[in-house]
């Protein structure tokens, strides 16, 4: 009797999106101006770009919104 080959384990997403530098919000932030990013405590910010010492840009992983935010409101992971 021939044996069947073991099925290969389901592959995880091979082409997982590169999220770049990621941070988590340690405080809520409500955007004051157009181009800024709002988020609530605990939300992850992906694709972080350290624009300057006080402001970074990134994407809210939950909402998909993008913009600038104060770097002291997040903690880099």
14 domain residue, yes or no: no
Question: In this structure, is residue 2 part of a structural domain?
Answer: no
> Do residues 65 and 54 touch, judged by C-beta distance below 8 A?
no
Report whether pLDDT(20) > 70: yes
pLDDT at 13: 45
Kindly report, residue by residue over 28-50, the tens digit of the pLDDT: 999 999 999 999 999 999 999 99
Does residue 32 lie within any of the structural domains? yes
Question: What's the whole-number average pLDDT of the chain?
Answer: 88
Q: Is residue 68 part of a domain?
A: yes
How many domains does the chain contain in total? Answer: 1
Distance CA 30, CA 35 (A): 12
- Given a contact cutoff of 8 angstroms between Cβ atoms, the answer to whether 69 and 55 are in contact is yes
Query: What is the per-residue pLDDT for 3?
Result: 67
18 contacts: CB under 8 Å, gap ≥ 6: none
Please indicate, yes or no, if residue 3 is contained in any of the structural domains: no
For the cut 70, the answer to whether the pLDDT of residue 9 exceeds it is: no
**Does the pLDDT value for residue 53 go beyond 70?**
yes
Question: Does residue 21 or residue 10 have the better pLDDT?
Answer: 21
CATH number for the domain harbouring residue 71: 2.30.30.40
Structure tokens at 45: 């910010």
């Amino acid at each position: 009797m021939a044996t069947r080959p073991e099925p290969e384990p389901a592959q995880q997403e091979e082409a997982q999106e590169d999220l770049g530098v990621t941070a988590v919000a340690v405080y809520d932030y409500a955007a004051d101006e157009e181009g800024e990013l709002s988020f609530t405590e605990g939300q992850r910010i992906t694709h972080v770009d350290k624009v300057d010492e006080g402001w970074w840009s990134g994407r809210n992983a939950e909402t998909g919104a993008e913009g600038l935010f104060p770097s002291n409101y997040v903690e880099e992971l």
